[in-house]
Amino acid sequence: MHKLYALSALLLGATALPLQAQFRAPAGGGGQEPPRTACMTPSQHARYDSIVTASIQRLEREKKLPTPAQRPAAVALAWPVRQAAGFDYASYYGVSNYVDRNASYPNQTLDWNCGTRTYDTSAGYNHGGIDIYLWPFNFNMMDAGQVDVVAAAPGIIVSKADGNFDRNCAMSNANWNAVYVQQADGSVAWYGHLKTGSQTAKPVGASVAQGEFLGKVGSSGSSTGPHLHFEVHNAAGQVVDPYTGNCNTGPTWWSEQKPYYESTLNTVMTHSAPPVFANCPGTHTTNQKTAFAANDLVYFAAYYHDQMAGQVGSYTVYAPDNSVFATWTHSMTPAYYSSSYWYWSIRLPTNAATGTWRFAVTYQGNTVTRAFTVGAVTASTQPAEQASFALYPNPAQQQLTVEATGTRQPGILLIRNSLGQVVATYQLAGRRTTLPLTLAAGVYMVSVSGDENAKAQQLVVY
């Protein structure tokens, strides 16, 4: 997805660090620069626009859309992605591109904050949306269905496109998978680059609530990795920039506008070896590990987005008795990274205490923790292997897709009604199974047979 800039650094020694935190250079890591390449040609954009317009006109003739007199004055947008149930990243994305407000081209860009986090092309395409990309391990996250695309505002589905290849890594002018929603105020939101087969089963003309599932983030169409292209058109059909700032002084469209730079710790991990990022569209080798033995070399890693020069991260490894085994700090070099990661290696002592340890990182006032075990851990301290799963679409109508997301695959899926009675069972095959639904409209709970550690999930059938 992004070009990797590896940074060399020092390797931590095999002994425990002193309890007073001090700066330590990482053993490796680096930043990843987001792409600045077009996700569609001007002719593709015009074609998508004409398809949506024609569909809206048809729905208006069929009186399936509100009239202008029935619309509210404006909508407030919520963030259009969320982490699916069963995943534990503190954050799961970064923003690579905003709307290009400079109509001139090429290489004449301007975003809402008077910066250049956007792009244009010599063919005359000015980026018209917000690109929200997955981080870290983007294709692993896509394959696991880790990130949902959700409706930013209530409205009616006015067009859909599906079935296009979703592991693209080039500007090949390929068509994307997308859902288009006319929002309550008459504006239209585009949700592009979706994962094939992941879309809501709701048809064109059906209503959606704010926050309702629309699909999964994918890499369909012209794309350099899994991301959502979120684009808003006003009721007159013009591309609008939903942000307010020094170079866009109108009111914000967001209910809570995120800052231009959202310096965030996405997740922390322990590894048996440094992570290996594959070229697009490969699956990354995370080397993530959470169970170690005494004298093992452990790699401690932190993954960020919008990491700024001079910001300090504080890293601490706690033993099972909550004592500090190692602590250090790391300050960025004079650079900005849209996404970045850094790792350190520490060898556990030969007499390392058996039990559950913790690796905690504090950054920008927030702490993210990852538990790991050392030695022969009993059942009470070692989390049981889980058969986690994701459900989509949700709400569902005629079919349901179940995707395994945990360390092992679920076997039999149980669906219970509001009284706790099992009303349907399904035998699952492989990591992804699509099932027909014959349930009455209502709210159900879905779980895995024989696995008490897999959390039950709510399913809405309409």
Contact 435, 400 (CB under 8 A): yes
Residue 330 burial (C-beta neighbours within 10 Å; 0-12, 13-18, 19+)? buried
Taking the CB of residue 273, how many other CB atoms lie within 10 A of it? 14
- Rounded to whole angstroms, how far apart are CA atoms 222 and 173? 6
* Buried/exposed 54-91: b ≥16 CB within 10 Å, e otherwise: ebbeebeeeeebbeeeebeeebebeebbebbbbbebbb
Predicted pLDDT of residue 390: 80
Mean pLDDT per 10-residue section of the chain, whose length is 462 residues: 32 42 88 78 91 96 91 91 92 96 95 95 92 96 95 97 91 89 96 95 96 96 93 95 96 97 97 94 94 97 96 96 95 88 97 96 95 74 58 83 69 77 77 82 78 68 82
Domains and CATH numbers, the chain: 3-33+262-374 (2.60.40.1930), 42-240 (2.70.70.10), 389-461 (2.60.40.10)
- Rounded to whole angstroms, how far apart are CA atoms 211 and 292? 40
Predicted pLDDT of residue 20: 59
Q: What is the DSSP letter of 11?
A: P
Main-chain dihedrals φ then ψ at residue 188, nearest 5 degrees: -125, 130
Q: Which residue, among 213, 207, 217, has the nearest Cα to 393 in the 3D structure?
A: 213
Q: What one-character-per-residue DSSP string does 249-284 give?
A: -SPPSBSSPPPSS--EEEEEEEESS--BPPPTTSPP
Residue 249 burial (C-beta neighbours within 10 Å; 0-12, 13-18, 19+)? exposed
Q: What would the two tokens of residue 110 be?
A: 């301007």
Contact 144, 403 (CB under 8 A): yes
- Rounded to whole angstroms, how far apart are CA atoms 244 and 257? 8
Q: Find the helix or strand (DSSP H, E) in which 57 lies.
A: helix 42-61
- Amino acid identity at 88: D
Predicted pLDDT of residue 382: 46
Predicted pLDDT of residue 1: 38
- Rounded to whole angstroms, how far apart are CA atoms 378 and 368? 25
Predicted pLDDT of residue 455: 66
Q: What would the two tokens of residue 339 be?
A: 């996404």
- The rounded Cα 337 to chain-centroid distance in angstroms is 18
Q: What would the two tokens of residue 348 be?
A: 């556990």
